[in-house]
Amino acid sequence: MNVSPDAYPAAVEETTSASGVSWGAILAGAAGAAALSMILVLLGSGLGFSAMSPWANEGASAKTLGISTIIWLTITQILASGLGGYLAGRLRVKWSNMHGDEVYFRDTAHGFLSWAIATLVAAVLIVGSVSGAVGNGVKAGASAVAGVAGTAAVAAGNTQGDQYGYFVDSLFRDDRPAAVSDDAARGVVVRIFAKTLANDGQLAPEDRAYLAQLVAQRTNLSQADAQARVDQVYGQAKQAVADAKLKAQQAADTAAKIAAATALWTFVALLCGAFVASLAAIWGGRRRDAVTYVEVRSYTASTVR
């Protein structure tokens, strides 16, 4: 038998014309999820999962910090999103005379919206604490690579205030170096090493000969032995700079890998949070629909009689 639209109950008309989103329940769930996220982030910081430099020589290694941070982020997402989704599903209005599939979809949507709002609100806390360790590592690696040339100068003991000292020394060079103090001689050597290491890394013939003369003057070595010592010591300094450069490149590569892995696992953790929020909202919605109302009657004295 066909039923005309006029014969539908008024409750059905009101249900179909009303909005299917209970924003009050969604915002309540989002607030609960954001608050729990903040609490768990603070707890994780207290337990040692805070943003720490993974290049520190003390404490946990970069790999351990990365794994523990991801695990704690996943736990935070599951617990906070589950709470927010359950609140959104349990506190929403009851949809009467509606197909079960539609109720299922709306509960899922409420849980997802609650998770989305909570994630936006807590983005500074969650993303900041997770990427802090990686960000510090990336900055450390980038600074190390960018300062390789400066590392060479530092290794040789050079300072920015004496960047023209090499050229000044060249003005007063002689085939027979005058006797000067040990500090002055060391300063000359430092400036020659610093300039050479910061450029092509090869000692100029005139610099090599001059250093050999300085060494021979102070050690009573022959010119040939002094040149051999200059070559040996300069080779050691050059190797030290090369090792520093290699370590800086390895640090930058490791930081980039950690950043990529952390971003990937953060994405997975957020997906887990969205799924748990939707699932918890379905559970909360079913608990909401299962609520039965108990009619309480009040009896007066006259009624009892």
**Can you say how many angstroms the Cα of residue 209 is from the centroid of all Cα atoms in its chain?**
51
Chain segment 147-205, per-residue pLDDT in tens: 544 444 444 444 444 555 666 566 556 665 556 666 777 787 888 888 787 777 788 88
Q: Is residue 4 part of a domain?
A: no
Asked if residues 71 and 268 have their Cβ atoms less than 8 Å apart, the reply is no
Over the Cα atoms of the chain, what is R_g?
36
Residue 220 lies in a domain: yes
Q: What pLDDT is recorded for position 108?
A: 92
| Distance (Å, whole) CA 83 – CA 66 | 26
Instruction: Give CA–CA dist 234/180, Å, rounded.
Output: 22
Give the residue numbers spanning the domain of 171: 150-246
Q: Is residue 47 part of a domain?
A: yes
Burial of 5 (0-12, 13-18, 19+ CB in 10 A): exposed
Mean pLDDT on 254-262: 82
Q: Based on the domain organization, do 184 and 218 belong to the same domain?
A: yes
Of 132, 138, 130, residue with least CA distance to 267: 130
Q: Are residues 60 and 141 in the same domain?
A: yes
* Residue 231 shares a structural domain with residue 139: no
Encode pLDDT of 74-91 as tens digits: 999 999 999 999 999 999
**Strand (E) or helix (H) holding 228:** helix 223-289
Q: Residues 124, 70: one domain?
A: yes
What's the pLDDT at 32?
Answer: 93
Q: Are residues 39 and 138 in the same domain?
A: yes
- The pLDDT tens digits of the residues spanning 96-127 come to 777 778 888 999 999 999 999 998 887 766 55
**Rounded CA gap, 40 and 58, in Å?**
25
Q: Are residues 44 and 137 in the same domain?
A: yes
Q: Kindly report, residue by residue over 27-48, the tens digit of the pLDDT.
A: 999 999 999 988 888 888 777 6
| 300 found inside a domain | no
Q: What is the mean pLDDT of residues 226-246?
A: 85
pLDDT tens for 280-297 read 999 998 888 886 656 666
In a domain, 106, yes or no: yes
Q: What would the two tokens of residue 81 be?
A: 């999103």
Confidence of residue 12 (pLDDT cuts 50, 70, 90): very low
Residues 141 and 268 in one domain: yes
Q: What is the DSSP string of 9-72?
A: -HHHHHHHHS-S--HHHHHHHHHHHHHHHHHHHHHHHHHT-S---TT-SSSS-HHHHHHHHHHH
| 288 in the same domain as 221 | no
Confidence at 58, pLDDT banded by 50, 70, 90: very low
Q: Is residue 255 part of a domain?
A: no
Residues 208 and 82 both lie in one domain: no
Q: Is residue 249 within 8 Å of residue 262, measured between CB atoms? A: no
Give the chain's domain count.
2
Q: For residue 248, what are its two tokens? A: 């800086």
User: 104 with 220, same domain?
Assistant: no
97 and 231: one domain? Answer: no
pLDDT of residue 11 exceeding 60: no
Residue-wise burial string across 237-261, b where 16 or more C-beta atoms lie within 10 A, e elsewhere: bbeebeebbeebeebbebbeebbee
pTM of the entire predicted model: 0.57
Cα 138 to Cα 62: distance, rounded to the nearest angstrom:
12
Q: What is the mean pLDDT of residues 42-58?
A: 59
Q: Would you say residue 2 lies in a domain?
A: no
Confidence label for 129 from pLDDT (cuts 50, 70 and 90): low
Residue 15 exposed, middle or buried by CB count within 10 Å (0-12, 13-18, 19+): middle
Whether residue 137 sits in one domain with residue 154? no
Is 117 domain-assigned? yes
